[in-house]
Amino acid sequence: MKHVAIFVFPGFGHVNPTLEMTRCLVAMGHRVTYVLDEPFADSVTDAGARAVTYPSRRGRLGSGAVTGEDIGAMGLDHLRESMEVILPRTLEALADDVPDLLLYDLESFFTARTAALRWDRPTAQLYPYIASNEKYSLALEVFDGATDHVQQCIDLVAGHLAEEGLDPDAVWTYLRNYDDRNLVLLPRAFQPAGESFDERFEFVGHSLPAELPGTGSWQRPATARRCALVTLGTEVNDHRDFFRAAEEAFAEGGWHAVVAVGRGGLPADPPRGSHLEMHEWVPFHTVLPHVDAVSCHGGISTMLQALYHGKPMVIIAFTPEEKVNGRRVEELGIGRTLPGDTLTPAQLRATMEEIASDPDIRRQVALLRTHLLAEGGPSRAALVVDRWLREPPSGPPSWAPWPVRPTTETP
């Protein structure tokens, strides 16, 4: 039995994709500890893991178009929180139970890598989104224009290295956005420049359980010609204009829409007509088997659930990462993208009708779904982690910074 520690950014799209892998690891006899924000504790303990919690200060990205500068500001806040709160909590809570392997997403690099150096333990990076290597960097697209906040992050990390007696010039090595071992929770076929990712990267297709209880609990209305699932996720869903457009879009043409508006987002006045039902949230796996198409924000978790059930999608993106995902949807021919700021009801309805009817789109969805399933999912992810746990130590990781070199004084 080995001990795995998991560090992830406090968001549903970061925590939830790891849960089924954790269940598999626990079933195999390993122990798993998460270090994460308090509201997610029940989710990880339900999966059989231990939760070491802290009260996160993070806020939501809010409404409107999200820029690289907005993402950079959130990244800077999380780095500061990692330095001031998460790392001290980690070192204290696990001092007498040091993990054998540390798994972490990009946002949690500072806590995981710093703790790994203190404990002399191996690491592996998790990607619940598109991965990065020497050829392709998601960060360069997401943080485009965030020069001020990114520079502050660099300065903070360089200062930390100097305080640790490490060379601050090694900051670029320490900030590297991939590891020597990497676990990517999506199909390689979805990855931009996928052919350039070598054996350091394990693509496992998806993070969904093989059995989804309650899949048949939502019933498609007998009068519906077409059904749609509509959502903007949990992070940037304060777009009442979009949900009003969806209400109007599906009022004609025999559509029935299931709309998830996010917690606290239900309107004071219920939608008019029986063609649309609104929920704060709904388990997607109960609805997806019965719909013809999905309209979503371009979050990887939602997209992979749609693909798992063989559904084409329309992407309405508001963040830089979602726009990257939407572009990939277009490139792969599995759906369409529409601009959220100028979207009309007629445009949304026509595009949903198109993707639900187009045989080429449905063929491409089926192809990518096959890739997604063939790569093994969370059970294979657990086997990969188990293999890493059994491997002998291989020396310091390539991202490890080097000590300050002593200066030679001239006599």
Q: For 186-193, what is the mean pLDDT?
A: 97
Considering the domain architecture, whether residues 97 and 234 belong to the same structural domain is answered as: no
Considering the domain architecture, whether residues 384 and 324 belong to the same structural domain is answered as: no
Does position 317 have pLDDT exceeding 90, yes or no?
no
Considering the domain architecture, whether residues 382 and 316 belong to the same structural domain is answered as: no
Considering the domain architecture, whether residues 386 and 319 belong to the same structural domain is answered as: no
CA distance 318 to 67: 9
Containing structural domain, residue 270: 226-372
Q: For 274-300, what is the mean pLDDT?
A: 90
Instruction: Say what the pLDDT of residue 294 is.
Output: 96
Instruction: Say what the pLDDT of residue 47 is.
Output: 96
Does position 410 have pLDDT exceeding 80, yes or no?
no
- Determine the 3-state secondary structure of 36 from DSSP: strand
CA distance 377 to 197: 18
Instruction: Please check whether residue 233 lies inside any domain of the structure.
Output: yes
Q: What rounded mean pLDDT belongs to the chain? A: 90
CA distance 161 to 406: 15
The rounded percent of the chain whose pLDDT value lies above 70 is: 91
124-128, 205-209, 268-272: segment of lowest average pLDDT? 268-272
Instruction: Please check whether residue 405 lies inside any domain of the structure.
Output: no
Considering the domain architecture, whether residues 198 and 237 belong to the same structural domain is answered as: no
Considering the domain architecture, whether residues 247 and 321 belong to the same structural domain is answered as: yes
Does position 28 have pLDDT exceeding 60, yes or no?
yes
- Sign of CA pseudo-dihedral 384, 396, 97, 17: negative
Instruction: Say what the pLDDT of residue 411 is.
Output: 46
> What does the pLDDT look like over 319-352, one tens digit per residue?
888 899 999 999 999 999 998 778 899 999 999 9
Considering the domain architecture, whether residues 336 and 359 belong to the same structural domain is answered as: yes
Instruction: Please check whether residue 403 lies inside any domain of the structure.
Output: no
> What does the pLDDT look like over 109-131, one tens digit per residue?
999 999 999 999 999 999 999 99
Does position 163 have pLDDT exceeding 60, yes or no?
yes
- pLDDT tier at 157, thresholds 50, 70, 90: very high
CA distance 301 to 284: 11
As for how many domains the chain has, the answer is: 2
Helix 12-27, helix 300-308: angle, nearest 10: 60
Q: For 180-188, what is the mean pLDDT?
A: 97
CA geometry: angle 191, 195, 199, nearest 5 deg: 95
Any idea what the CATH number is for the domain that residue 292 is in? 3.40.50.2000
Considering the domain architecture, whether residues 74 and 156 belong to the same structural domain is answered as: yes
Does position 61 have pLDDT exceeding 70, yes or no?
no
Q: For 13-36, what is the mean pLDDT?
A: 97
> What does the pLDDT look like over 211-222, one tens digit per residue?
766 566 788 888
Instruction: Please check whether residue 380 lies inside any domain of the structure.
Output: yes
Considering the domain architecture, whether residues 147 and 264 belong to the same structural domain is answered as: no
Does position 189 have pLDDT exceeding 50, yes or no?
yes
Considering the domain architecture, whether residues 251 and 106 belong to the same structural domain is answered as: no
Does position 277 have pLDDT exceeding 50, yes or no?
yes
Considering the domain architecture, whether residues 261 and 296 belong to the same structural domain is answered as: yes
Q: For 10-19, what is the mean pLDDT?
A: 93
Specify which of 41-45, 236-240, 246-250 reaches the highest per-range mean pLDDT. Answer: 41-45
Read off the tokens for 309.
């059930």
- pLDDT tier at 270, thresholds 50, 70, 90: low
249-263, 265-279, 328-342, 388-402: segment of lowest average pLDDT? 265-279
Instruction: Say what the pLDDT of residue 118 is.
Output: 96
Instruction: Say what the pLDDT of residue 102 is.
Output: 98
Does position 289 have pLDDT exceeding 50, yes or no?
yes
Which one, of 16, 11, 40, 15, lies nearest residue 283 by Cα?
A: 16
The rounded percent of the chain whose pLDDT value lies above 90 is: 68
Considering the domain architecture, whether residues 170 and 136 belong to the same structural domain is answered as: yes
CA distance 17 to 243: 26
Neighbours of 27 (CB within 10 A): 11
